[in-house]
Amino acid sequence: MRRLIKITTSFFYLGHSPIMPGTLGSLAGLLIYFVVKDKFPIYAFTIIFLFLLGILFSTEAEKIYKRKDAQMIVIDEACGMMLSLFLVPYNLWIMIAGFVLFRTFDILKPPPAKRIEKFSGSFGVMFDDIIAAIYTNFILQIACRIFHI
């Protein structure tokens, strides 16, 4: 079971990268987005599935890694990246903007993400990234309407 938790929460060990594991997790989410973007039911299901896996396994992953929100846990970044682009038109520049915005919000942790990150277990691990994704999606939705994309 430990191995399954590590594989899942590190997103197939991307989180074990010595360089920018969160960014790699976000890129993995972007890759999945690219594959499922035109298949709405699969896209929506994938976001929900990743979120539920993160909720189910992140608390145990923190125990395995002996750290709160260990950098090896990147399923939250993959899920957040996909949510960032949810119901946003497909466009290369929007993908790039979404990636940059999501990573920025994930790193800076604007309110209430910083406070939520302090919660223990899965809630703290997953929801700060969900908040970053909501901020990102909101900005992208507005930009798409302003620029008629």
**What pLDDT does residue 117 have?**
86
Find tokens 């507005």 and name the residue. Answer: 142
**Token digits of residue 93:** 């520049």
**Token digits of residue 54:** 């993160």
Distance of alpha carbon 54 from alpha carbon 69, whole angstroms:
11
Find tokens 């191995």 and name the residue. Answer: 3
**What pLDDT does residue 120 have?**
82
pLDDT of residue 7 exceeding 90, the answer is yes
pLDDT of residue 118 exceeding 90, the answer is no
Alpha helices in the chain, H assignment, sequence order: 2-9, 21-36, 40-65, 75-84, 92-108, 113-117, 121-146
CA angle 72, 76, 77 (to 5 degrees): 85
**What pLDDT does residue 141 have?**
97
Predicted confidence band of residue 38 (pLDDT cuts 50, 70, 90): very high
Average pLDDT, the chain: 96
Find tokens 């969160």 and name the residue. Answer: 22
Mean pLDDT of 133-143: 98
**What pLDDT does residue 149 have?**
85
List pLDDT tens digits, range 100-114.
Answer: 999 999 999 999 998
Report the half-sphere exposure of 90 (CA within 13 A, side-chain side): 11
Mean pLDDT of 61-78: 95
Task: Say if residues 32 and 84 touch (Cβ distance below 8 Å).
Answer: no
Distance of alpha carbon 29 from alpha carbon 133, whole angstroms:
12
**What pLDDT does residue 144 have?**
96
